[in-house]
Structure formats: C-alpha cells, structure tokens
Structure 1
Amino acid sequence: MNVSLNWLNDHLDLSHMSLQEIDDLLTFAGVEVEGIESKGVPSDKIVVAQVKSAEQHPDADKLKVCMVDAGEGELRQIVCGAKNYKVGDKVPCALPGADLGGGFVIKEGKLRGVPSLGMLCAAGEIGLIDAEDGLMILQEDAVIGEKLQDMFDADTIIEVEVTPNRPDLLSHTGMARELGALAGIDRKSPALETPETTGAAGLIQLNATDSCPYYTAVKISGVKVTESPEWLKTKLEAIGLRPINNVVDITNYALHELGHPLHAFDAAKVKGALDIRMAADGETFKALDEVDYKLAADDVVISDASGKALALGGIMGGLDSGVTETTTDVILESAYFTPSNIRRSSRRLALSSDSSYRFERGSDPQAVLTSSAFVAKLITELAGGSIEGATAVAGEAPVLTSEVELDAAKLDQLMGGSISLADAEDILTRLGLDKVADNKWQVPSYRLDLPRHIDLVEEVARVHGLDKVPSRYTGTFVQESAVDAAYDYQMAQRKTLAALGFYETQTIKLIAESSTEATVPQMDTALPLRPLMDGDVIRVALPLSEDHAIMRPSLTPGLVATAARNIRQGVKSLRFFEIGRQFRNAGGGKAKDLEADSLALLMGGDASPSGWSADSKSIDAFDLKAVIESLLPNKDIQFTPRKRDGFILAADIQCDGKPIGAFAQLSPAKCRELGSNTPIYLAELELKKCQQLGAGTSQADELPQFPGSSRDAAMEAPVDMPNADIEKAIKKHNEMLLVSSACFDLFTDPTGEKLPADKKSIAYTFHYRSPERTLKAKEVDDAHQKLLAHLTKTLPITFR
C-alpha cells in the first residue's frame, strides 16, 4: 500500500521526524517498509518559460527550434520535439545543470547540428503527473522565471507491506493511528457521524445474509458529475490512482482515508430495489474492467428488480451501472461482506481490486454507517445535490471483537519487568483500546487480531520495543547433533568445491519421467548414474506438467540440464555441483522409501583457459578423480569399471575399498546433442558414507629424513584388464618399504605388429623408502622383486 506523507500530516504532525526515523519506527513494530519515494519537482533549475517562437529544424522534420523566455533577460534557444504547444504557451524549462533524477543532468549541446541550451519538459519528466501527451502547459498567469518547486508541493510516498492480520492499517487513518501510538503523538481524528437509519423496504432486499450480513444504501439526488477539485486529485495521484470524476474519486478517497470500501450506482440505471443475492451458476457479469466473468453459485452479486447483476459484491462494480458524466442521482452502497466469500470469489475469478483486498482481510463492520455518512456528505459538498431521507439498512453489523483481560502478572513475567502496568495501559489506550474494569479491555471493532490476552501483551511489547525486553537466558553448550554434523560437513564440501572453481546449482526436485528412460532418443537431461529397478520411481499424483512428473532419483539430470544451458551461452569450461536429496521407492515399495543426500559433480570442456603460451587441454576423467580425492584427503579412491546403458564409460567409485558412488562419461552423441564437442563426466557420491569415511582427525605425515629409491617395471597385461586391479594387488601386497606407485606409460597396438592386439603394455614406477635409515640397493631390489612376484602370481601379467 502507498502512504502519502502529506496525507498523513492531515492526521498528525510528523515534521519533527526524519524519514529514517519513520522507517525504523514502522519496521521495528512489524510494518515492513518496502520503499520510500520522493515526488515533486526535483531541481530548483526548472523554471517557467514562455515560448516566443518555434521554427522548423533545418535537418529534422519532427523537431522545432524554439526561442523561449526563462526570465533571464534574454531569450534561450532550445530544440524541442513535442507537438502539443503553440507560441505564447508557458511551459517548464530545465536549465543547464538541472538534475532530473537517475543521473540525468541537463547540459548544453546540439541536436542534429543545432545548439540546444536546455530542455522543455513534460510533467512526467519533472516528477509530476502527466495530464497530456507532450509538454506540460502551465497556467497563463504563471510568472516567467518562477521556480516550479515553489509552484508544486513535494510529497514522499512510503510503500508498506501490511500483513493479512492487520487490515486496520490499510488506510491513512489506520496508519496515522499506528504511528501516533508508536511515537506518542496526538492525532486529529476525522469527524465521523452516524446517519439516521430506516428500514430496507423499497430500496434493499437482502437475500444473502451469510455472504453479506449487513448492507446499507442512501440516495443522493441532484448531483453534478464533473472533474474533481485539485486537492482531491493531488491526493489520489500521489498514491498512484487516476482521477476519474468527483463522485468516483470521493469513494476512492474514502477507501484510502478510512479503509472501508464503498460503491456508487447511477440511480437511473437501477430498476426497483437493490437485490443482494447469490449468483446463479453460470451467470455472466461485465465488470468495470470491461471483461465478462462467468459466476458461480457461491459469488454474491448486487442486482435490481430486473435480475441483472449491477456489481460483484465486495469486489468490483458493473460497467453498465457506474457513475458517468450524465449521472444526476446516485445510490451509495456501504456494506460488510464475509471475508472468506470475497477471498474465494476473487481467487477463482482472478479478479482483485482495492475493495476485495480489504474485504477479504476483514473490514470493520462498525464503520459501515460512519463511512457512508462521510462519503455522502463529501458528495453533497463537491458534487452538489441532497441526501434523500435516512440511510436504508438491511441486516445487522456483526460484532467481531469483545473484552479481553490483561493478566498483569503474566505481562510482567513475559516482559521481564521492563515496563510498568501503567505504561502498558497507556500503550493500549493509544492503540484505541478502552479499559472497562478488572484489567479488562474492550477491543475496538477494527482490531480483529486481538482476541486473547497474549495478543495484548504482544501489542505492548511491539510498541514498547522488543529490544528493551531483557534476555533471561545465557548461551549454554549443546552437544552437536547428527543434523548439525551433516550440515557442517556439507558446508565444508561446498567451500572446497568453490575453491576448486566449481559453481553450485540448485535444481527442482521434480523432473520429467523421460529423464530416467534409456529408450528415449531425445532426452532432455541424462540418465541416473545408478540403474533403476522396477518400481523405483516415485511418481507425482497430480503433476503440474510432464516436466515435473516424478521425484528425482538422481541429481545428474538437473546438472546436465544446467550444463546444456551454459553451453548455449558460450561457457567453455563446465564445473558444476549440487548437494541435494534424491528419492527412490526401493524396488517397488518392498521396503521403505529411500531419501538420501547426495553430491553430484559435472565436469567438461576446457581444463584451463587457452592463451598465447599454451594450447587448451580438455578435462578428462582423472581431473574428476582428483576433485573427489580433494574431498576425501588421504583416502584411496578407486574407479572400478561397471558397464551401464546410456554411457560410454561407467564405474563404481570406492574409497578405501568401500563403495561411495558412481562415475560415468556421457556418450559422444549425447554431448553433441547438448552442444559440447568435448567429453562430459559425471559423478554422484553418497554424502552420508563420505562423511563417515572422512570423520576423525587427519594427521600430516612427517617429512622424510632419509632418501628413497625408485624402480620402474613394464608389464604385459590383457587389454581389457582394468588398472584398478593392478592398484588393488599392489595395495594387498602390503610392502612396508613401498611408499608410492604410479602408472606413467600405456601402449597398445591394434594391428598386432609390435604387441599382440589383445595385450597392452603398462609401465609403473615404484618408490621405496624407510623412515629409520638409508636403504641399501640390495634391500630395494629384494623388496621390488617380491612385489613383482606377487603381481605375477596375482594377475595375468608378465614383465618385460
């Protein structure tokens, strides 16, 4: 809601408070301030100028070269493209140096080769409301050279977000009441009267008491519908409303002044009595927005004796019954509508208005008559006419508030003794509550959110200031829970991956079912790395779309989709990860549903940016393995090949011999489909297992004191034997002097000329060292021969 500071000043004096103080006062009281905007002429270098001549620009058909008098003693030349002015008109002129906001400062320059020494302005360009297309035409009696800041009042608009439980704040009266209570400022209450009332006979038929328990109407004859006075238009324009005519503007003004919506019917378009009834199922209604709405049986409408719907109750008036320039008699409606009914109709029809916004949150039923009297009196003052008789009333205004007891002992306990009972009572009084007896308080009808004792305490704390309530507890040690440990571990992994150049993604937990089907030729994403059994997939009963049909059994489809979007944007190096939950049905529901947190990694593209000194290198599987080793330091990470459909290369990931996840390389066809001309690698790790394996204190190895010695060995092995078998055999040998080993060469010959085609040559280097002494050559040779013998015995290999 937009609140005008000038409008608030009609209710209370805020001149001694800065905008920041008002902002803080509302924010700390629970009223969120979303923005503050200053309105009005932004610079003192914008003055009244008179156009003395306007000649065609020599090099532009749509421009004219004007000579204007800005009160400087000599004429000023300005190039202008507007068409709505004539010679002799007085218009705003921004002189050089005028700041129009947003960094736009007027300077002397040239337009199509002709000097222009300023700018003739439209109203919208200088912080005012545009009334016409083109320049702002000022009054003939405007003084040439006068600053426009002296002619137009500035204002400040405060945009606030009002919570649904505080409909009393949806007006300037309510906001002034709140600020007055918070700041301890006396306010000027608007003069409200209760009109004389009469029965509903002849004017109202109330047939929908559940949806509209209270309805009033009063007829005003002899009105003259014209343009609103300047003060009224200024108030409405300040909060972003467009003035229409004096009668409609008065109802809009009352809405934002008092907070209660009203509606005016053209009496000539109403046949007989107003009939407040439930709509017929399928009935159509043309609203003021010129849209035909199909109504349901639970929508309340206001119709007449002809049965035609004149308004959708509490939401919007009808196009055919509204007030126009030809209207002479009006029927003014003021009513209370049940919030749940208005909310349901507004949501179903996707039709919202300032009226429905207030009714669906709960308007003040006791303000129905006083608001009607306020608007009726204002109409007779601004539009003429006279009120015909008493106000017709149908039904009864519901009483929604009652007396609430304030427990003094409980108040003192909850407030920590920070406020006395007398001060607490003063706060409640300022908020509009009346003390009756025995610490009981009558809640005003506009505060529907105060039905309990604790609500009164909350109001006291809110106005008193929560920062003034002392804390009764100090921090105590709490043993770290499993949830805490998992969170800390995941955050540590995120930091590690970010340091390695990875970007975190967050994808939706719902994916397309095609993402899990290997038979789909044009997949939107990628297969899960772990194969799915029958019944593993958990389907959504009522999916929003085909792309959100199942709970994701894997994080990798989302990662691949993210990579595809980045490839389309020209990203050359792909490094993405996601930590999240995946869902499986454990083989068709034979066991409990499985929900597990996983870490998914995707790498592809360039390993490093290409430059003049070196060619770019593509990321390979060992780069991804190195990342996993960084996440699990001092652990033995192995990739054990495992054939999986849909991938050119796949493996199980083991840490110290225990399975922790899966690895795969997308097929070249899939990479091309994604737009990548380099391989893309994926890995998915089970976070719980990784956390368990990474638990404990890591110790750094001491620097070696004695030199080591290396030996190389080349072996022939079957071409399909994985390297992981060699590494496992080396580790199983458990040679005490062996400190490291690494493969440094691989050779195959598919032709069979230099090496049988079913064989491959693998070269390893082995490093030996003792922590106690310098090894002798014989000791190294003996250890090396034992290792080679063990490998020959364990594996189908021969040494060259």
Structure 2
Amino acid sequence: MNVSLNWLKDHLDLADFSLQQIDDLLTFAGVEVEGIEQKGVPSDRIVVAQVKSAEQHPNADRLKVCMVDAGEGELRQIVCGAQNYKVGDKVPCALPGSDLGGGFVIKEGKLRGVESKGMLCAAGEIGLTDVEDGLMILPEDAEIGVPLQQMFDTDTIIEVEVTPNRPDLLSHTGMARELAALAGIERTLPDRGELAETVSCEEVVRISAPDACPYYTAVKISGVSVKESPAWLKTKLEAIGLRPINNVVDVTNYVLHELGHPLHAFDGSKVSVPLDIRMAGEGETFKALDEETYTLKNEDVVISDGSGTVLALGGIMGGYDSGVTESTTDVILESAYFTPSGIRRTSRRLALSSDSSYRFERGSDPQAALKASAFAAKLITEIAGGTIEHETCVAGEAPVLTSKVELDAAKLDQLMGGSISLEGAEDILVRLGLSKADCGAWQIPSFRLDLSRHIDLVEEIARVHGLDRVPSRFTGTYVHASEVDAAYDYQMELRRKLAALGFHETQTIKLIADHSTDSTVAQMDSALPLRPLQDGDVIRVALPLSEDHAVMRPSLTPGLVATAARNIRQGVKSLLYFEIGRQFRNAGGGKAKDLEADSLALLLGGDARPASWSHQPDTLDAFDLKAVVCALLPGHEIQLNPRKREGFILAADILCEGKPIGAFAQLTPAKCRDLGSGKPIYLAELDVKKCQQLSCGTAQVDDLPQFPGSSRDAAMEAPVTLANAEIEKAIKKHNEMLLASYACFDVFTDPSGEKLAADKKSIAYSFHYRSPERTMKSKEVDTAHQKLLDHLAKALPVSFR
C-alpha cells in the first residue's frame, strides 16, 4: 500500500519527525516499509526559464539551439530536441548540477559539436505528470528564475507491506492512527459530516444471501454533474499511483484510501430497484469494468437489479454496463460489508483482484460502512453537485465482530519485565483506539478484528512501548531434551553428512502441480512416495493459487527434479541434491486423518567428477546412490529390492536389515531428455524417523583383526532372473562363522547365446575367511568354502564351474 505524507498531514503533524524516524517507528512496530519515494520537483536548481530564440542545429535536423533567460542576468545556450514549444514560452530549465534522480545529474557539455549549458525539461523528467508530448509549458505569469519547487507541491510516498491480520492499516486514517500511537502525538479528526439517517426498505434493497453479505446500504444522489475532479482530489490520487477518472468515481476511490472501506457508484438510470444481493446462478455471466466477461458459480455473491441483471460482483468489481459515465445524472452509492471468505474464494478463482477485494477478503470494519457512505455522499454533493434524495436505505445489520478482552496486569508485568507501568500500558491501548470497560476489561474497536485475547493486548503494548526497552533475561530454565530436539539434531547430522559427500541442500515449496493421468489414482509426475499412492491418498488444495500449486506434496522428489531441471539449463553437469522436509497424504484413501511425515529425498545423476585431461568423465549410477544411503546408515546392511512403480524405468524398495526404509527409482530416458539431461538420473526417498531409530544407540567398533585371512573366488552360473539379493540372503542363512566378508566382482551375460546361454548369467564372488582366534590352515579354509558352495547349490538354481 502507498501512503502519502501530504495526505497524512490532514490527520497529524509529523514536522518534527524525519523520514528515517518514521521508517523506524513503523518497522520496529511490525509494519514493514518496502520503500520510500520522493515525488515532485527533485532539485532547487530547476527554475522557470523563457525561450528567447531557437535556431536550427547546424549538425542535426531534429535539434535546435535555444537561448533562454533563466533569471541569471545573461542568456544561457541550451540544445533542445523538443518540438512543442515556441519562442516566448516559459519552460522548466535544469541548470548544471541539477539532480533529476537515479544519479542523473545535469552537466555542461556539447551535443553534436554545439555547447549546451543545461536542459529544458518535460514534466515527467522533473517528477511531475506529463500532460503533453514534449516540454512542459508553464503559465505565462510564471516568474523567471523562480525554482519550480516553489510552484509545485512535493510529496513523499511510503510503500508499506501490511500483514493480513492488520486490515485497519489499509487506509490513511488507519496509518495515521498507528503513527499517532507510536509517536505519542495528537491526531486531528477531519470533518466528514454527520451520519445519514437510515431506513429499512425492501422495495429498494433486499438481501437474499445474508451469509455472504450481512449488511448493505444504498443512497441515491440526483442531479450530479460528472466531470473532471478538482485539482486537490486528483493530486491525492495520483500521489498514491491511482489514475483519476471522474469526480464521482474519484470520490469513491478517495474515501476507500481515506477510511479503508470500499464503495461503489451505480448510474441510477441504468438500475431498476429493488437491488438484490444474491448468490449467482451456476454459469451466469458478468461483464466487469475491466471489459472482461466472467462465468460465475453459485458460490459467488452478486448485486442485481429488479430485472435480474447482474450489476456488480459483490465486494470485487462493478459492472461495465452500470458504471458512472459523463452522461450520468443520478448516482446510487453502495456501501456494504461482505464476508471475507466468500470474497477471497471468488477473487482467487476468477483471478480478479481489486482494491476493494483486497480489503474485504482481509476483513473490513462492518461499522465503517455507514460512515464511508455518509462521507462519500457529502463529498459528491460538494464536488459534483446534486442532492441526496432520501434517507440511506439499509438491509440487514452490521455484524459485531469484536468484544471485550481482559488485560491481566500481573501477566503483563511478567511478560514486559516490569519495563512499563499499568498506567503507561493503558495509555497505549487508549491511543490505539481501545476503550476501558469494567473489571480490567477493554472494549475492542470494530476496526481491530485481530485483538481477541489477553496476549494480543500485551503484544500491542510491547510493540508500541518498544521491544528494545523490555529487559533481557540472562537466565533460563533447564529443559530436558525432547523427541523434537532429538529429531532436529539427527536431521542436522544428515545435512552435515550429505554436504560432506558433495550434495547441495534444496528447499522447495510444499505445493506441487497435479499431473493426473488416471481418474482413480493420481500419478504426480516424478513423485516417489514411500508407499505407493492409493485412490484418495492425495490431498488437493481447495482453492489453489495456481495449477502449479494444487496438491500437497506426497513426496519430495518433484521439487528435486524441478531443481535439477533449472540447474541443467544453467549448464550444471553433476547433479547432487537433497532435501529434508515434510510430505503429506491421506491415510487409507482419505478414511482417516491426514498424515504428515519427515522424509529425506536424494537426487543423483550426471558426471561423477569434472572432465580432465587425465581421465575420462565418469557417470554417476545407481550404485553411487546406494553407497550414499550406506554412508548415512553405517554398520547396517542396505539392499535394493526391485518393485515395479509406474512412471519409472527402474524402481525398488530400500531395505535396511531386511526392513523397508524408503524407495528408489530411475527416471525414464524420455523424462531425462525433457529435463535436458543426456545421462541417467536417480531418485531416492527415505523415512527420516525410521533412519533415526536405526541410528540411535552407541556405535560399535570392531577390533582390528589379529590374524591373517584367506580369500577364495567362485564363479556360478545362474538364471538371468536370479537377483543378487537372493544370493546374499542364502549366504547369510548358511551362517559360516569363518566367513568375514564377501563381494560380487563380475557379472557376464551373452544375449547371443554363443558363449553362454541367453537365459543364463555368470556371477563371480570373492569370499574372505578369517578366524579371530588363530591363523587358519589352507585345508580349513577349503573345507569352509566348499560347505558354502554346497549350500548355495542346494538353496539356489546355480551351478559352479
């Protein structure tokens, strides 16, 4: 929101405060200042000058050499390219040394070989509004040599970011109230006229959708003259970035930014009573002021007239056919209160936002509707003429959304560390607009919907008093470590390990796109959930901000894949990324409450190390990813158990000590090409809680062996379909006490069938034997080795060569 300091002067005197002090007051009170911009003539060296002569430039067709009188006693030569002036006109002249903003300082120099000692300016070049193409032509009675800062008002615009819980700050009145409380100065209340008399008349206004619009007012003003707004009104609107339209519409915009309550004006000749505030019909269409036609649903609130024609989309935007134009003579002024949730839902779905919807969806003050209507009606009759025909017609009642809140003096003193007295705290609450009731309770004003608890009052007192004035506590109470602390420490340990292994951490949004290809089971592109998704498992957002943020992620891998794609486009060759975060899903197809769990997702692919003259580049593969998992769970046996998953060329469950802890998959070549990668990309997702349970306890370290061991190799012929995991499972089952370790070091297949049957493979293992008690004899090793081979031959369809 843009706040004009000149506009604020109508409410309070800030002459004793610098811009930096105002910035600090707002920032330290929780109102973020996004920027400060000076408007108006930026330099006192920009003066009124009169063109005395203008000759053609000898070296440029579109330039003229002008002699101008800038009130210095002698003429100044300036080269100018504008075409809209004539000799004798008075124009702005920026003398050398003038700073036009953005580091643009006027200097003496030469243009196409001709000396130029300054610059003749257009309005837009000196912080004013352009009304013509070319130089700004000043009034004939402008005094030569007078700085333009004396002729035109300057202003300072403060851009603030207002949090959703503070809609009361979305107006100059609200901002003035806030600054007055923070600075401890008095606030002046401008004259806004008396509240209008009201009457309930269903023949003029009726509410058919009270849940969506509990309160609606309308007043008719006849005999208005719609024309250009007066200068003071246009200046205020232009200062905050609004374009003046006509005096009636400008008044509604002025009142909106003055009081914070939206209004709308209808052309009375285009409206037939009664006005009906109702829910739209399914598929009903509406042409808005932006000249776009929108298809409505029965959840959208509209204002229609006696003929059923939709005049406005309630709380968001007026209709194109019922708006005020230059031919309007009768105006119906609307002021209402709309339920925030309905306005927010419609605005998001239609992607239609306005200053009105921005305020209504955050919660406007219901009690301000009548005040805003009376103020706007008063201004319209003063500026556009006309008369108010009758009392303000109302339908429904303005809801009371605030109540009394008790301030606990003892808790206040404890939380504030005794830094403020009860009288001082009460003074702050009064300055913020609260009024004291009985028994220590405070009546919350209707514009402060965010104050509902004792702690809310303490927070208001603390931020106005100043958190820097609350004494620090140098001692704290000892708290035993909790499960939350243990989980945090473990996750930090995972981050350190992965960083040491060369991985980069990512943080992606918890909402992802829903690329559903199946009506019964949602298949999120690149999602690798720990447990395959069932029908109804995916949690969809009711009102997503966009199609790319429609689903609560059931897996972290889509975010990693998107990160990899961005890095591939930037030329990254080695892809090593991880993320620790929360994933979401329904349990049992939505029959139980939603489940949230922390996961660790890994993405690996591309080059293992940069290419060099000394070696050929290696490609990261599935075994590198398995090695990473092994490094995260040292001392535990990790296995990949194949499991078919749709959308992946290769997939498996990750087992630790035979128990599932995660999922593994390889992206299809087509998906890799879509991402821009010509090399395989692998994914894994681990259950952090299970990994933590496996990592708890004291790590055991084996003693170094005291006696030498002996190795034996064995090559076995087995079916191609026999998994390595089955072989390792059989080796473990044999439980040979002398077997210290084993590893597969070669696999051979021959699809042609010439050297080995096509349905067979040759697997070579190395077995290492050692006794912890003595040096073994060769015969003893041979016996143990043969027993192992005999066991494998019985347990598996293998034969040894």
Determine if the TM-score, normalized by the shorter chain, exceeds 0.5: yes
Instruction: Give the distance between the partners of 2:128 and 2:315, measured in 1 at CA.
Output: 32
Stretches of structure 2 lacking an aligned partner (at least 5 in a row) = none
Instruction: Give the distance between the partners of 2:549 and 2:198, measured in 1 at CA.
Output: 59
**Kept after mapping to 1: 8 A contact 2:203/2:273:** yes
Counterpart residue number, 2:716: 717
SS at match of 1:429: helix
SS at match of 2:234: helix
After superposition, what is the alpha-carbon deviation per residue over 1:324-383, rounded to whole angstroms, capped at 9, x for unaligned?
5566x65573745455698489648766544555566334646736x5665565556555
**Kept after mapping to 2: 8 A contact 1:404/1:453:** no
**Kept after mapping to 2: 8 A contact 1:576/1:602:** yes
Instruction: Give the distance between the partners of 1:171 and 1:11, measured in 2 at CA.
Output: 12
Alignment CA distance shift 1:702-1:673 (3 Å): same
After superposition, what is the alpha-carbon deviation per residue over 1:742-791, rounded to whole angstroms, capped at 9, x for unaligned?
67677778899999996758485969898x9xx9xx76867765665555
Name which of structure 1's ranges 622-631 and 207-216 shifts more when overlaid on structure 2: 207-216
After superposition, what is the alpha-carbon deviation per residue over 1:670-698, rounded to whole angstroms, capped at 9, x for unaligned?
65676543333344444333322222334
* Alignment-mate amino acid for residue 486 of structure 1: A
Count of equivalent residues: 776
Q: CA deviation at 1:128?
A: 3.1
**Kept after mapping to 2: 8 A contact 1:204/1:217:** no
Alignment CA distance shift 1:580-1:74 (3 Å): same
Instruction: Give the distance between the partners of 1:47 and 1:381, measured in 2 at CA.
Output: 36
Counterpart residue number, 2:370: 368
* Alignment-mate amino acid for residue 362 of structure 1: S
Counterpart residue number, 2:40: 40
Alignment CA distance shift 1:220-1:541 (3 Å): closer
Is 1:602 the counterpart of 2:603 in the alignment?
yes
SS at match of 1:618: coil
Alignment CA distance shift 1:4-1:541 (3 Å): closer
Please give the residue correspondences for 1:208-607 in structure 2 after superposition, counting only pairs within 5 Å. 208=207, 211=213, 215=217, 217=219, 219=221, 225-261=226-262, 269=269, 275-278=274-277, 288-290=289-291, 299=301, 301=303, 324-325=325-326, 331=331, 333=333, 335-337=335-337, 339=339, 343=343, 347=347, 352-355=353-356, 357-358=358-359, 361-363=363-365, 365=367, 368=370, 374-375=375-376, 378=379, 382=383, 385=385, 400=400, 404=404, 418-434=419-435, 446=447, 459-465=460-466, 475-504=476-505, 506=508, 508=511, 511-512=514-515, 514=517, 525=525, 538=537, 563=564, 567=568, 570-579=571-580, 597-607=598-608
SS at match of 1:492: helix
Q: CA deviation at 1:400?
A: 3.8
* Alignment-mate amino acid for residue 277 of structure 1: D
Q: CA deviation at 1:227?
A: 3.7
Taking every aligned residue pair, what percent have the same amino acid on both sides? 58
Instruction: Give the distance between the partners of 2:341 and 2:642, measured in 1 at CA.
Output: 64
- When the two chains are superposed, the root-mean-square deviation of aligned CA atoms in Å is 5.6
Q: CA deviation at 1:238?
A: 0.9
**Kept after mapping to 2: 8 A contact 1:302/1:313:** no
* Alignment-mate amino acid for residue 26 of structure 1: L
Name which of structure 1's ranges 643-652 and 69-78 shifts more when overlaid on structure 2: 643-652
Name which of structure 1's ranges 144-153 and 579-588 shifts more when overlaid on structure 2: 579-588
Counterpart residue number, 1:7: 7
* Alignment-mate amino acid for residue 716 of structure 1: A
Counterpart residue number, 2:175: 175
After superposition, what is the alpha-carbon deviation per residue over 1:159-202, rounded to whole angstroms, capped at 9, x for unaligned?
3344566554333223222221222101222134427859799x
Q: CA deviation at 1:136?
A: 3.8
After superposition, what is the alpha-carbon deviation per residue over 1:589-621, rounded to whole angstroms, capped at 9, x for unaligned?
999998765434332221112234433222233
Alignment CA distance shift 1:653-1:414 (3 Å): closer
**Kept after mapping to 2: 8 A contact 1:745/1:764:** no
Counterpart residue number, 2:16: 16
SS at match of 1:696: coil
Normalized against structure 1, the TM-score is what? 0.75
**Kept after mapping to 2: 8 A contact 1:525/1:561:** no
Alignment CA distance shift 1:437-1:673 (3 Å): closer
Instruction: Give the distance between the partners of 1:366 and 1:751, measured in 2 at CA.
Output: 86
**Kept after mapping to 1: 8 A contact 2:575/2:604:** yes
**Kept after mapping to 2: 8 A contact 1:220/1:388:** yes
Alignment CA distance shift 1:744-1:550 (3 Å): same
Instruction: Give the distance between the partners of 1:569 and 1:641, measured in 2 at CA.
Output: 34
Instruction: Give the distance between the partners of 2:317 and 2:203, measured in 1 at CA.
Output: 19
Please give the residue correspondences for 1:669-748 in structure 2 after superposition, counting only pairs within 5 Å. 676-698=677-699, 714-718=713-717, 725=727, 729=731, 732-735=735-738
Alignment CA distance shift 1:68-1:289 (3 Å): farther
Is 1:622 the counterpart of 2:630 in the alignment?
no
Instruction: Give the distance between the partners of 1:388 and 1:582, measured in 2 at CA.
Output: 60
**Kept after mapping to 1: 8 A contact 2:513/2:524:** no
Q: CA deviation at 1:40?
A: 3.2
Counterpart residue number, 2:634: 633
Name which of structure 1's ranges 581-590 and 44-53 shifts more when overlaid on structure 2: 581-590
Name which of structure 1's ranges 576-585 and 151-160 shifts more when overlaid on structure 2: 576-585
* Alignment-mate amino acid for residue 175 of structure 2: M
Alignment CA distance shift 1:700-1:259 (3 Å): same
Stretches of structure 1 lacking an aligned partner (at least 5 in a row) = none
Alignment CA distance shift 1:31-1:592 (3 Å): closer
After superposition, what is the alpha-carbon deviation per residue over 1:24-55, rounded to whole angstroms, capped at 9, x for unaligned?
43344454444433333445565555564374
SS at match of 1:21: helix
Instruction: Give the distance between the partners of 2:346 and 2:514, measured in 1 at CA.
Output: 32
**Kept after mapping to 2: 8 A contact 1:276/1:300:** no
Q: CA deviation at 1:4?
A: 0.9
* Alignment-mate amino acid for residue 194 of structure 2: T
After superposition, what is the alpha-carbon deviation per residue over 1:226-256, rounded to whole angstroms, capped at 9, x for unaligned?
5434333222111112223444434433333
**Kept after mapping to 2: 8 A contact 1:48/1:91:** yes
**Kept after mapping to 1: 8 A contact 2:265/2:334:** no
After superposition, what is the alpha-carbon deviation per residue over 1:384-429, rounded to whole angstroms, capped at 9, x for unaligned?
x575788566679758489847567567567665543433443343
SS at match of 1:13: coil
Is 1:131 the counterpart of 2:138 in the alignment?
no
Alignment CA distance shift 1:127-1:597 (3 Å): same
**Kept after mapping to 1: 8 A contact 2:516/2:524:** no
* Alignment-mate amino acid for residue 40 of structure 1: G
Instruction: Give the distance between the partners of 1:766 and 1:364, measured in 2 at CA.
Output: 82
**Kept after mapping to 2: 8 A contact 1:572/1:606:** yes
SS at match of 2:255: helix
After superposition, what is the alpha-carbon deviation per residue over 1:521-561, rounded to whole angstroms, capped at 9, x for unaligned?
xx98469598969x677366899899999987766566556
Instruction: Give the distance between the partners of 2:391 and 2:565, measured in 1 at CA.
Output: 68
**Kept after mapping to 1: 8 A contact 2:560/2:578:** yes
SS at match of 1:463: helix
Name which of structure 1's ranges 676-685 and 69-78 shifts more when overlaid on structure 2: 69-78
Alignment CA distance shift 1:640-1:408 (3 Å): closer
SS at match of 1:249: helix
SS at match of 2:691: helix
SS at match of 2:204: strand
**Kept after mapping to 2: 8 A contact 1:40/1:152:** yes
Instruction: Give the distance between the partners of 1:247 and 1:529, measured in 2 at CA.
Output: 58
Alignment CA distance shift 1:314-1:562 (3 Å): closer
Alignment CA distance shift 1:783-1:158 (3 Å): farther
* Alignment-mate amino acid for residue 491 of structure 2: Q
Alignment CA distance shift 1:111-1:197 (3 Å): same
**Kept after mapping to 2: 8 A contact 1:77/1:117:** yes
**Kept after mapping to 1: 8 A contact 2:289/2:318:** yes
**Kept after mapping to 2: 8 A contact 1:527/1:646:** no
